Amino acid sequence: MPARQFICPNGNKVAIQDCLKSCSMQQRCMFLPTLRAVAKSLDRGIKEPTVTELLAGTRETYLKKIMEYAVNPQDILYALHGQAVHTINENHTEGEILSEIRLNDDITSGKFDLYGKIIDEEEGVLGDLKVTSSYKLMKALGIYKVDVATGEIYKTGLKKGQMKTKKEFRYDGIRHVMDWAIQLNAYRLLLEAEGFTVNRMVIQALCRDSGLRITAERGIAKNIYLIPIRKISDHWLKRYFTAKAHNLQKALADRIMPHVCKVKERWHDRKCQDYCQVAEHCPHGQTVKSRLALPLKDAV
């Protein structure tokens, strides 16, 4: 079931259809065409579980399929930015590059962004476009900071006698791209099942908060990065998606809420606290929200 309500800036909920007819506030929170585009992006009319749905926690996807829920249109705008980037690329594939085609197998469906000669002369490159935060980019690129001795010694204060240090970036850390890698590899499997050869997979990530001081402090100096993605074993991928699709379908058939989303899927509760659109229907989401809403002395 797609989202049915918008959350207004004052926290009120309004049926999306009512909002599109007329705004109950003094003034609309954004242009009407933008709201229409947001509303359209929420209901894609796809019945089978998509790769993106199976990548999320099963409980989250289950709740999104059975509950009416509300979204803040401002939050959905990030996804629309992503779609706008897709459209820019889609209009310039010049007939030799495939783009935005939805493929199915008996488990899932997925729409890859670009396939073909998209970087150099090599054929069969599968590309995915992301619009993401500098934090996620820093993690995906394996950037971290280390303390490096400057050779100078503190002469006074608490640190007297200790070596002074400065922060330096390193670019050889663990690249946290597992969710992106599973998604792109799932598209690879779908393409290969149709007879296409995928020689390379690459993500083009656009930083959505470039130009800010915090972005520079995270070591992100460019607007766009190309991030190579490694192949994941076909056997592992098929087991992963089969198990997730089975768990979701069983939960939907039995109408039994699946186990709480895994720690990684719920971003160590950050998603439950601020980003999960169905948190109000999830007991764990409610617990996290009420725990963090308590004054510090009550929360510990």
Binding site for ligand SF4 (CB under 6 A): 6, 8-9, 14, 19, 23-25, 28-29, 35, 57, 59-60, 63, 73, 260-261, 266, 271-272, 276, 278-279, 282, 284-285
> What's the closest the beta carbon of residue 164 comes to ligand SF4, in angstroms?
43
Closer residue to ligand SF4 in complex, CB, 56/114:
56
Closer residue to ligand SF4 in complex, CB, 59/86:
59
> What's the closest the beta carbon of residue 274 comes to ligand SF4, in angstroms?
10
> What's the closest the beta carbon of residue 1 comes to ligand SF4, in angstroms?
15
Candidates 253, 108, 112, 273; CA nearest to 261 is 273
Closer residue to ligand SF4 in complex, CB, 38/203:
38
> What's the closest the beta carbon of residue 186 comes to ligand SF4, in angstroms?
20
Closer residue to ligand SF4 in complex, CB, 21/47:
21
CA distance 171 to 14: 46
Candidates 167, 113, 178; CA nearest to 142 is 178
Closer residue to ligand SF4 in complex, CB, 50/185:
50
> What's the closest the beta carbon of residue 11 comes to ligand SF4, in angstroms?
10
Closer residue to ligand SF4 in complex, CB, 35/181:
35
Closer residue to ligand SF4 in complex, CB, 178/216:
178
CA distance 231 to 200: 8
Candidates 70, 89, 99; CA nearest to 131 is 89
The number of C-alpha atoms within 13 Å of 44 and in the hemisphere containing its C-beta is 14
> What's the closest the beta carbon of residue 195 comes to ligand SF4, in angstroms?
37
Nearest residue relative to ligand SF4 (C-beta)? 285
Closer residue to ligand SF4 in complex, CB, 3/182:
3
> What's the closest the beta carbon of residue 224 comes to ligand SF4, in angstroms?
29
> What's the closest the beta carbon of residue 17 comes to ligand SF4, in angstroms?
11
DSSP characters for the chain? ----EEEPTTS-EEEHHHHHH--SSSS-SS-HHHHHHHHHHH-----SPBHHHHHS-HHHHHHHHHS--EE-HHHHHHHHHHHHHHHHHHTT-TTTSEEEEEEE-SS-EEEEEEEESSSSS-S-EEEEEEEE-HHHHHHHTT-EEEEEEEEEE--SSTTTTSEEEEEEEE--S----HHHHHHHHHHHHHHHHTT----EEEEEEEETTTTSHHHHHTT--SSEEEEEE----HHHHHHHHHHHHHHHHHHHHHT-PPPPPPTTTTGGGHIIIII-TTGGG-HHHHHHHHHHHS-HHHH-
